[in-house]
């Protein structure tokens, strides 16, 4: 199928998880490029801080993406607020969790699934009718490289991100013949607050590291800033890509999982252990 380009600059967009990280980066980039931005997050203070950095039109909404009825109500508010067709819906909000399968608490897995998967489904269902009525625009759902590869101690996160990928790819094929597209985003490591806000009850590898140490390690291994991630994501949407890989590490995950679908972790595990060692040395540990 030929790619349809989807310009974003100057056109209204909706972004969840905009109080921090990639969502904030998307809001800032698109607002700078003249787009009115509707931004939502569960974190009211962070959302205010994001809004304070934007100079163009902005609609802010404190919202828990798990709440399907509230997502629908917000879609109604966005519809009223629009002065031009909605160019893109970024279902970006997400959280992280680290645990072995054996030690996982069902309530933690449920918490993650409801935000990272149900939140994306709720946002898609709430906003899709607007895009279908216009017969234009993109649903842009954030998966992860952990939606391409299974990683130890990330079972709940991987399950939710693989689910986002499956849901979004199915939707993409359903939308054939319409002017609406569905896009999956697979970021590699991005330097955001995700690890610091994660639920980690104990070092899943049994090495006795604190949550802060694990977050430091994660951040030292990331390769891409949220601002750069926002640029790559917007560039991918504008080019009409169906799948957007964010960062050099995302390209490595993509290649390995295709070349060696059952043995990719032999390489990834080795590369990540080396990077972790370098990160720990860099932090003087
Ligand atoms: N940072 C990475 O390395 C990385 C890698 C792959 C995928 N991702 C994905 O990118 C997306 C953005 O994450 P980030 O890295 O910018 O993290 P972040 O923690 O900086 O931002 C996530 C935002 O989501 C919001 N959020 C959490 N729960 C919510 C809820 N129930 N309702 C509404 N908002 C909620 C948070 O308040 C926060 O503002 C997530 O889906 C994440 O899984 C991140």
User: Using a 6 Å cutoff on CB, does residue 95 contact ligand 1?
Assistant: yes
Query: What single-letter DSSP state applies at residue 104?
Result: -
List Cα–Cα distances, 42 to 16, 62, 108, in angstroms: 9, 5, 18
92 three-class SS? coil
CA quadruple 20, 89, 253, 103: dihedral, nearest 10: 60
Q: Is the CB of 43 under 6 A from ligand 1?
A: yes
* Cα-based distances in Å from 233 to 70, 228, 282: 26, 9, 30
Stretches where the chain sits below pLDDT 70 are 1-2, 282-285
pLDDT of 2: 59
Instruction: Give the pLDDT confidence score for residue 96 in this predicted structure.
Output: 98
- List all residues 6 or more positions away from 174 whose beta carbon is below 8 Å from its beta carbon: none
pLDDT value for 278: 79
DSSP three-state, residue 45: helix
* Annotated active-site residue in 146, 157, 264, 265: 157
143 lines ligand 1 (CB under 6 A): no
Q: Name the residue at shortest CA distance from atom 37 of ligand 1.
A: 43
Question: Using a 6 Å cutoff on CB, does residue 190 contact ligand 1?
Answer: yes
The reply to whether ligand 1 has any atom less than 6 angstroms from the CB of 231 is: no
Is 157 an active-site residue? yes
Residue 275: predicted pLDDT:
84
Give the Cβ contact number of residue 279 at 10 Å.
17
Gap from CA of 55 to ligand 1 centroid (Å): 23
Q: Which of 188, 170, 177, 192 is nearest to 242 (CA)?
A: 170
Rounded CA gap, 258 and 24, in Å?
32
pLDDT of residue 282: 66
CA distances from 161 to 52, 158, 182, 184 (A): 31, 5, 15, 10
**Ligand 1 atom at minimum distance from 146 CA:** 6
Structure tokens at 86: 């909605």
How many residues are present in the chain? 285
Contact in structure between 190 and 21 (CB atoms under 8 Å): yes
């Amino acid at each position: 199928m030929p790619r349809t380009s989807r310009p974003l600059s100057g056109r209204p967009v909706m972004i969840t998880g905009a109080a921090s990280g990639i969502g904030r980066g998307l809001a800032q980039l698109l607002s700078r490029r003249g787009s009115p931005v509707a931004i939502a997050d569960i974190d009211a203070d962070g959302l205010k801080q994001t809004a304070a950095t934007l100079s163009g039109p902005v609609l802010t909404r404190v919202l828990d993406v798990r709440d399907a009825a509230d997502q629908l109500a917000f879609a109604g508010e966005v519809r009223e607020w629009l002065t031009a067709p909605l160019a893109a819906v970024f279902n970006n909000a997400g959280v992280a969790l680290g645990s072995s399968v054996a030690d996982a608490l069902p309530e933690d897995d449920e918490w993650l699934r409801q935000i990272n998967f149900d939140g994306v489904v709720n946002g898609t269902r709430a906003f899709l009718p607007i895009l279908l009525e216009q017969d234009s625009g993109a649903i842009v759902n954030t998966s992860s490289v952990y939606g391409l590869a299974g990683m130890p101690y990330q079972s709940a996160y991987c399950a939710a991100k693989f689910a986002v990928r499956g849901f979004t790819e199915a939707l993409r094929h359903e939308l054939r013949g319409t002017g609406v597209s569905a896009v999956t985003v697979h970021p590699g490591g991005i330097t955001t607050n995700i690890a610091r806000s994660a639920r980690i009850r104990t070092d899943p590898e049994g090495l006795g590291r604190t949550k802060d140490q694990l977050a430091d390690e994660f951040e030292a291994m990331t390769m891409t800033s949220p601002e750069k991630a926002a640029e790559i994501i917007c560039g991918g949407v504008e080019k009409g890509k169906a799948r957007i890989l964010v960062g050099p590490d995302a390209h490595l995950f993509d290649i390995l999982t295709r070349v060696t679908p059952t043995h990719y972790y032999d390489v990834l595990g080795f590369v990540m252990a080396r990077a972790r060692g370098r990160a720990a040395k860099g932090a003087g540990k």
